[in-house]
Amino acid sequence: MSRLRALIALVALTVAGGLMAILPGTAASAAACATPWQASAVYTNGMQVSHNGRNYQAKWWTQNEAPPGTTGVWQDLGSCGGTTPPPGGTCNHPNWAAGTWYTAGTIVRYTNGLYYIAEHDNPGYDPIISTWYWDPYSCSGTPPTSSPPPTNPGGFVVTEAQFNQMFPSRNSFYTYSGLVAALSAYPAFAKSGSTTVQRQEAAAFLANVHHETGGLVHIVEQNTANYPHYCDAGQPYGCPAGQAAYYGRGPIQLSWNFNYNAAGNALGLPLLTNPWLVQNDAAVAWKTGIWYWMTQHGPGTMTPHNAMVNGAGFGETIRSINGSIECNGGNPAQVQSRVTKYQQFVGILGVPAGNNLYC
């Protein structure tokens, strides 16, 4: 009996040992989840986050691009916080519906059968139109191979996605395509100096534009009582479009008959006789803004372009645009508004703000 009991005990121990060797393998789980991704946070090379049950690692500076993203900035480190799912899983997410409120991280199935993940909260914007709010998504956690690269025609240092991020409430008149079309008028704009300087100049221009137009909301000057004041009758060409026709228009709010005349001559456009072109054609509007930026110094001593390219700093661009009213303590709140927006925009473009921000 004792021999039989010993054999039974030995068999039981062997079986138990086998189970002990098997159980840890079957209970293996995914890695712990890193700190959850946040839209407002800035991530640099090597920093890790978790998003929708997966860990990701940043390859370079990024902000506001939800993993897995579309630019290649995020490296997928695999699932986290539970058992590892089998490869090639299938999506099971609800159909997108216009007008439905979606929070960041929500995944939907669009009408074309593809999936998209909300990068920012939105009230049901169309995923293939409002690309700042939505990113393509696949069940493997990596972007679909067919997803297009960020729109960046003409090599402009600001992509369409970044432009939309800068001006989320812009008037539909101010199109990105109109801005890109206007670049040909002055090829040196945002193309001079190092990549950092180019991005700083683009950010400086767009920050001043944001301030002048309330975020690219206003196409024309809002105070109509000022309209008759912008005709300098002492000019030899007068005001052929009418006494009240030269009010502020466009991204830099071009005003006065002599500015319309000068801009029209430089751009080869009949702006003196037809100033309404600036409020009816997006490319013309953007060209007038870039014309002022590249050629005029206003109350300052240099053009805004030269201020950024030669290292004078963002503050000198303010002086060249509205320095007689805002600089030297004239209106510090307005100056701060411009500076704050510039700091935000260089952050989006991934470059430092530089020195001499104030005037």
Residue 65: active-site member? no
- Residue 21 structure tokens: 């060797």
**134: enclosing H helix or E strand:** strand 134-137
Q: What are phi and psi of 161, to 5 degrees?
A: -65, -40
Q: For residues 204 and 345, what is the distance between their CA atoms, to the nearest angstrom?
A: 8
Short-list 100, 94, 137, CA closest to 115? 137
Residues near 222 by beta carbon (within 8 Å), at least 6 away in sequence: none
Cis peptide bond upstream of 144, omega within 30: no
3-state secondary structure of 3: helix
Q: Single out the catalytic residue among 65, 119, 160, 212.
A: 212
Q: For residues 327 and 310, what is the distance between their CA atoms, to the nearest angstrom?
A: 20
Burial label for 308, CB within 10 Å (0-12, 13-18, 19+), is buried
Q: For residues 131 and 168, what is the distance between their CA atoms, to the nearest angstrom?
A: 11
Name the residue type at position 125. Y
- Residue 79 structure tokens: 């699932």
Active site residues: 212
